[in-house]
Amino acid sequence: MMFDSLLAGFGLPPQTPVRLLNRSENETYLAGDALILRVHRQGYHTTAEIAAELAWLGALQGVPGLRCVRPLADGAGRMLHRVDGRDVVAFAPIRNAREVSAGDDLAHWFAELGAISARLHAHARGWQRPAGFVRKRWDCRTILGPAPHWGRWQDAPGLTPEGQAVLARLVEDLQARLGGYGDGPGVFGLIHADLRLTNLMLDEQGLWAIDFDDCGFGWWMYDLAAALSFIETDPRLPALIAAWVQGHGGTTAADRAIIPSLIMLRRVLLTAWLGSRADSDTAADIGAAAYAAQTVQLADRYLTRGPAQMWGQI
């Protein structure tokens, strides 16, 4: 892509090196050491949805105890740009920070992540959203329904007829349990929706939350399920769940009881996503077919043991 005019708008020379960092839902580039550029996948978010994300990020800057990525405007005050027909947003780099990895002391950081999530949720509850604010909804219909945001789980690569039957039973169970849990304001609202390890940065002061690209309306406890993405079989999961719940505070027995179902909902979503985003670095690293097969194993265990026995006492 040609970023020359965009770079000029930020006062950067055209010869500024631009390096691809990651290709996942979107493409992320580093321009020199001054800008992180996110190039949006075509056909996913509308311009209005991207503007809404930026509005929330702007409102979150300066919230006590919360550090999150900061979007940047160019010299003309524009935050949303078009480059080669694609939407592009610039963010300030986070200096001297690294991604959180599975090899870290995750129980320690999940307690802090729970506190960060609580601050995000408290802000979302009290924030007066601007006119025209629109973001996607993350619920059973948009994840498991006939036209889901991230593709149909039935189309996951390598899924056998037997595996499809197991996941169909799981889907029925999830729909019933989450329907009973409800989607009222006490349990459902504006969330980050993708606080997995790669969307957390760590510096000497603690955690940063980045990549609000999937923020939208979902269950508050879904932010915990999203944080456990791709590590659902890690033996530390009970400790991670307990640490997040303790750090978050204010959860009810119903909130804690629904956690295994939300983890499985997220797992089905990711199984579909890996199939529909075969061009992503994540799909290449994990392997969509292997992940789908493991999802079937987890679903069978969930259906056989019941959600309360999946990851220990919550």
Cα angle: 243, vertex 245, 250; to 5 degrees: 145
Convert the pLDDT of each residue in 270-309 to its tens digit. 999 988 776 777 767 788 899 999 999 999 999 999 999 9
> 183 and 58 in one domain?
no
Q: Which stretches within 37-103 are classed as H helix?
A: 47-60
Domain count, the chain: 2
Task: Report the candidate in 156, 169, 165, 144 with the shortest Cα–Cα distance to residue 304.
Answer: 169
Assign residue 33 the CATH number of its domain: 3.30.200.20
Higher-confidence residue of 2 and 118: namely: 118
Mean pLDDT of all residues in 74-83: 96
E strand or H helix at 209? strand 206-209
For residue 104, name the pLDDT band (cuts at 50, 70, 90).
very high
> 153 and 244 in one domain?
yes
314 in a domain, yes or no?
Answer: no
Give the pLDDT confidence score for residue 312 in this predicted structure: 65
> 203 and 164 in one domain?
yes
Question: 25 lies in which domain range?
Answer: 4-93
Task: Report the candidate in 191, 228, 224, 251 with the shortest Cα–Cα distance to residue 114.
Answer: 224
Convert the pLDDT of each residue in 43-65 to its tens digit. 999 999 999 999 999 999 999 99
Q: What's the mean per-residue pLDDT of the chain?
A: 94
Residue 78 pLDDT more than 80? yes
Place of tokens 């939208």: 216
- Domain final residue pick, 93, 128, 159: 93
- Domain final residue pick, 43, 69, 93: 93
Distance between start and end Cα atoms, the chain: 48
The CB density around residue 58, as the number of other CB atoms within 10 Å, is 14
Residue 226 pLDDT more than 70? yes
Contact predicate 56/190, CB 8 Å: yes
Task: Report the candidate in 171, 174, 218 with the shortest Cα–Cα distance to residue 193.
Answer: 218
> 239 and 151 in one domain?
yes
Place of tokens 């909902």: 265
Give the pLDDT confidence score for residue 313 in this predicted structure: 52
Mean pLDDT of all residues in 62-86: 95
Give the pLDDT confidence score for residue 275 in this predicted structure: 82
